[in-house]
Amino acid sequence: MENFIVSARKYRPATFETVVGQHHITGTLKNAIKNNQLAQAFLFCGPRGVGKTTCARILAKTINCTNLTPEQEACGTCESCISFQTGHSFNFHELDAASNNSVDDIRSLIDQVRIPPQAGKYKIYIIDEVHMLSANAFNAFLKTLEEPPSYAIFILATTEKHKILPTILSRCQIFDFNRIQVEDIASHLNKIAQRENIAVEADGLHIIAQKADGGLRDALSMFDQIVSYTNKNLTYKSVIDNLNILDYDYYFKLTEYLTSANVSQSLVLFDEILNNGFDGNNFINGLASHLRNLLVGKDPQTVKLLEVSENIKQKYISQSQQTSVSFILTALNLANQCDLSYKNSKNQRLQVELALIKMCHIPSVLQLAQLPASNSLTDDQIKKKTDVKTELPVAVPSAGSVPKALEKPVPVPQVPISTPAQPARPVTQTDKIVLKPQPLVNKTGGTLIPSLTSLESLASEAENKEPKYIDGHEKDPFTFEQLMSLWNSYAHKAKDEGKINIFTLLTSNEPILEHHEITVLIENKIQEGLLHEEMVYFLNFLRSQLKNFSIQIKTKKIEVQLKNRLYTSIEKYQYLAQKNPQLEEMRKRFNLDII
Length of the chain: 595
Which residue spans within 445-543 are E strands per DSSP?
A: 447-451, 512-514, 517-522
Q: Does domain 248-368 have CATH number 2.60.40.180?
A: no
3-state secondary structure of 161: helix
| Domain boundaries 7-176, corresponding CATH code | 3.40.50.300
Which residue spans within 159-257 are E strands per DSSP?
A: 173-176, 199-200, 233-234
Domain ranges across the chain: 7-176, 182-242, 248-368
Q: What H or E segment, with its residue span, contains residue 271?
A: helix 263-275
> In tens digits, what is the pLDDT along the chain, a chain of 595 residues?
467 788 888 888 888 888 888 888 889 888 888 888 888 899 999 888 888 888 998 888 888 888 888 888 888 888 888 888 887 888 888 888 888 888 888 888 888 888 888 777 888 889 888 888 888 888 888 888 888 888 889 999 998 888 888 888 888 889 999 888 888 888 888 888 888 888 888 888 888 888 888 888 888 988 888 888 888 888 888 888 888 788 888 899 999 999 888 899 999 999 988 888 888 888 899 899 999 999 988 888 888 888 887 888 888 888 888 888 888 999 999 999 999 988 888 888 999 999 999 999 888 887 776 666 444 445 555 445 444 443 444 444 444 444 444 344 444 444 444 444 444 444 444 444 444 444 444 444 444 433 434 444 544 554 455 677 777 778 888 888 888 888 888 888 888 888 888 888 888 888 888 877 888 888 777 778 888 888 888 888 888 888 888 888 888 888 665 556 666 888 788 888 888 888 888 888 888 887 7
Tell me the chain's radius of gyration from C-alpha atoms: 45
Which are the contacts of 242, defined by CB distance < 8 A and separation ≥ 6?
Answer: 225, 226, 229
Which are the contacts of 440, defined by CB distance < 8 A and separation ≥ 6?
Answer: 447, 448, 449, 450, 451
Asked if 205 and 194 touch (Cβ cutoff 8 Å), the reply is no
DSSP state of 445: S
Comparing CA positions, the residue from 174, 103, 161, 176 lying closest to residue 130 is 161
Architecture in CATH for domain 182-242: Orthogonal Bundle (1.10)
